[in-house]
Amino acid sequence: MSVATESRATKNTTRPGGTLYRGREGMWSWVLHRITGIAIFFFLLVHILDTALVRVSPEAYNVVISAYKTPLMGLGEIALVGAVLFHALNGLRIIAIDFWRKGVKYQRAMFWTVVGVWAVLMAAFIPRQLMVVFSEVQG
């Protein structure tokens, strides 16, 4: 076998270039954990700023708080609760992977467990939140 033929044979058996992740659970868990973390950070930043506003101008604070009582912000609260809940559950999963000897072996099952628990808890929260949000609109 010549060097050129051997080089082509080796080239065909190596893995393709590019990212190692191909959209598996570990990658999506990482992406969602980062997105939810950033979203929670910005919520906390806005929350601190609007709460600090009460010391500067109580009237402006009341205006801002009344803006939060809109249906759009009520739907945003659903997104916030979903982000906090997923971030917390996935954080527990990450801790298990780091500190449990078999964590890496079961990381995929733990991811789907996190998604399942998150979905059940959100399914319990969303109808109640929607009732609260839209009862304020009508009444």
Over residues 47-89, the pLDDT tens digits come to: 999 999 999 999 999 999 998 888 999 999 999 999 999 999 9
Within a 10 A sphere around the Cβ of 64, how many other Cβ atoms?
A: 16
**What pLDDT digit, counting tens, does each position of 4-53 carry?**
555 555 555 565 555 555 678 888 899 999 999 999 999 999 999 999 99
- Answer whether CATH 1.20.1300.10 is correct for domain 25-137: yes
pLDDT at residue 6, as a whole number? 55
**What pLDDT digit, counting tens, does each position of 105-118 carry?**
898 999 999 999 99
Closest by CA to 79, choosing from 43, 29, 132, 28, is 43
17: DSSP letter: S
